[in-house]
């Protein structure tokens, strides 16, 4: 128990970051480089935080009790799904670096809106968010994050094996050919984008109580980069990649703690070295290279 007391927060953070890495993995399944996850994560967190602290919802909270937390996940997931659709349908006409930049802009705009609204607490943010289900210790959030991770991984496995998953892969490998085969690319790309958005939103809703406070620093460009690094360092062609990458990279600053101030410098160096020496990601070290997918992931940088 001492171990959980000491490292519980860190362990829960690792699982949480792995989940966020996965939220970026879904659009990548259909070949779309989207950096929008932190936006949906921040939005989900705000939805939960507002439902949990705003006086306007006091009656609802009294009536629902602990079910309020479950409600926050549902509402956050739903709102992110709707916004995901609204943003995804126009934005997913873009490819490669253009989509990445559009999603960066989306995250930035959300951040400035959050900074300037009253309901989000402006620059200060929202604080004093009650602990989910009256949790006493941070490690107990593992009881939320771990099942969510398990469910997400199961879902991902089933998805990848399904007709939809094969359509995703077809679009990733060659969108025009997939289109010619009668797979509507836009519909599937938007679907993949929305799944990622919903996951990020739910993780955000769970994280608002976990972090106890929520503010505009939760969804920033830095986070976009961090999540992308999780996926690419872990491996972008396998669902275990984001999990491994998220866990390891989130742990890295802790592992490097003895190096104190130098740890973020080392963190950056790790990113550089990993992209140089682990082009397939860490998972690439363990998986046999299958013949057809031996060529490196084709990046759609329009030129």
Taking the CA atoms of 260, 261, 263 and 266 in sequence, report the sign of the dihedral they define. Answer: negative
Measured from the CB of residue 115, what is the shortest distance to other proteins in angstroms? 7
Measured from the CB of residue 77, what is the shortest distance to other proteins in angstroms? 24
Please report whether residue 24 would count as binding other proteins according to CB under 8 A.
no
Q: Contact region for other proteins (CB under 8 A) — 42-50, 246-254, 271-279, 285-293?
A: 271-279
List of residues 6+ apart from 21 with CB closer than 8 A: 227, 230, 231, 234, 242, 243, 245, 246
**Do residues 249 and 230 lie in contact, with contact meaning Cβ atoms separated by under 8 Å?**
yes
Q: Which two tokens stand for residue 164?
A: 């939809």
Measured from the CB of residue 96, what is the shortest distance to other proteins in angstroms? 8
How many residues bind other proteins, per CB under 8 A? 50
Q: Contact region for other proteins (CB under 8 A) — 151-159, 163-171, 204-212, 256-264?
A: 256-264
Please report whether residue 50 would count as binding other proteins according to CB under 8 A.
no
Of the candidate residues 1, 291, 294, 302, the single one contacting other proteins (CB under 8 A): 302
Site for other proteins in 184-243 (CB under 8 A): 221-222, 225, 228-229, 232-233, 236
Please report whether residue 58 would count as binding other proteins according to CB under 8 A.
no
**For residues 39 and 272, what is the distance between their CA atoms, to the nearest angstrom?**
25
Measured from the CB of residue 244, what is the shortest distance to other proteins in angstroms? 16
Of the candidate residues 272, 285, 291, 294, the single one contacting other proteins (CB under 8 A): 272
Please report whether residue 271 would count as binding other proteins according to CB under 8 A.
yes
Of the candidate residues 267, 282, 284, 287, the single one contacting other proteins (CB under 8 A): 267
Cα 200 vs. chain centroid, distance in angstroms? Answer: 4
Phi-psi region of 122 (alpha: psi -120 to 50; beta: other; left: phi over 0): left
**For residues 154 and 166, what is the distance between their CA atoms, to the nearest angstrom?**
16
Site for other proteins in 83-102 (CB under 8 A): 90-91, 93-95, 97-98, 101-102
Please report whether residue 285 would count as binding other proteins according to CB under 8 A.
no
3-state secondary structure of 214: strand
Site for other proteins in 119-158 (CB under 8 A): none
**For residues 135 and 119, what is the distance between their CA atoms, to the nearest angstrom?**
26
**For residues 112 and 249, what is the distance between their CA atoms, to the nearest angstrom?**
27
Residue with tokens 């997931």: 77
What is the full DSSP assignment across 228-292? HHHHHHH-TTSTHHHHHHHHHHHHHHHHTGGGGGGHHHHHHHHHHHHHHH-TTTTHHHHS---SG
User: Which residue, 270 or 282, is less far from other proteins as judged by CB?
Assistant: 270
List interacting residues with other proteins (CB under 8 A): 33, 90-91, 93-95, 97-98, 101-102, 104-106, 108-109, 112-113, 115-116, 176, 221-222, 225, 228-229, 232-233, 236, 261-262, 264-265, 267-276, 279, 296-299, 301-303
């Amino acid at each position: 128990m001492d171990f959980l007391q000491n490292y519980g927060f860190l362990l829960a953070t690792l699982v949480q970051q792995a989940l966020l890495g996965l939220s970026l993995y879904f659009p990548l399944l259909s070949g779309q480089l989207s950096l929008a996850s932190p936006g949906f994560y921040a939005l989900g967190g705000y939805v939960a935080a507002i439902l949990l602290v705003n006086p306007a919802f006091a009656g609802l909270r009294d009536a629902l009790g602990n079910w309020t937390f479950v409600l926050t996940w549902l509402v956050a997931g739903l709102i992110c799904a709707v916004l995901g659709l609204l943003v995804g349908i126009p934005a997913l006409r873009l490819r490669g670096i253009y989509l990445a930049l559009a999603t960066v802009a989306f995250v930035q705009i959300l951040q400035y809106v959050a900074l300037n609204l009253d309901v989000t607490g402006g620059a200060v943010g929202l604080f004093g968010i009650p602990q989910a289900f009256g949790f006493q210790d941070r490690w107990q959030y593992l009881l939320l994050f771990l099942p969510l991770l398990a469910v997400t991984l199961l879902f991902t496995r089933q998805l990848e094996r399904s007709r939809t998953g094969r359509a995703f892969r077809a679009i990733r490998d060659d969108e025009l050919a997939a289109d010619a085969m009668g797979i509507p690319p836009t519909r599937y790309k938007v679907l993949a984008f929305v799944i990622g958005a919903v996951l990020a939103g739910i993780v955000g809703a769970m994280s608002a109580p976990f972090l106890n406070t929520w503010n505009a620093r939760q969804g920033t460009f830095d986070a976009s980069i961090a999540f992308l690094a999780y996926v690419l360092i872990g491996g972008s062609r396998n669902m275990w990649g984001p999990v491994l990458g998220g866990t390891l990279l989130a742990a890295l600053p802790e592992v490097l703690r003895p190096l104190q101030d130098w740890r973020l410098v080392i963190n950056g160096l790790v990113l550089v070295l990993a992209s140089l020496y682990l082009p397939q990601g860490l998972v690439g070290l363990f998986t046999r290279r299958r013949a057809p997918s031996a060529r490196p992931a084709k990046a759609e940088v329009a030129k």
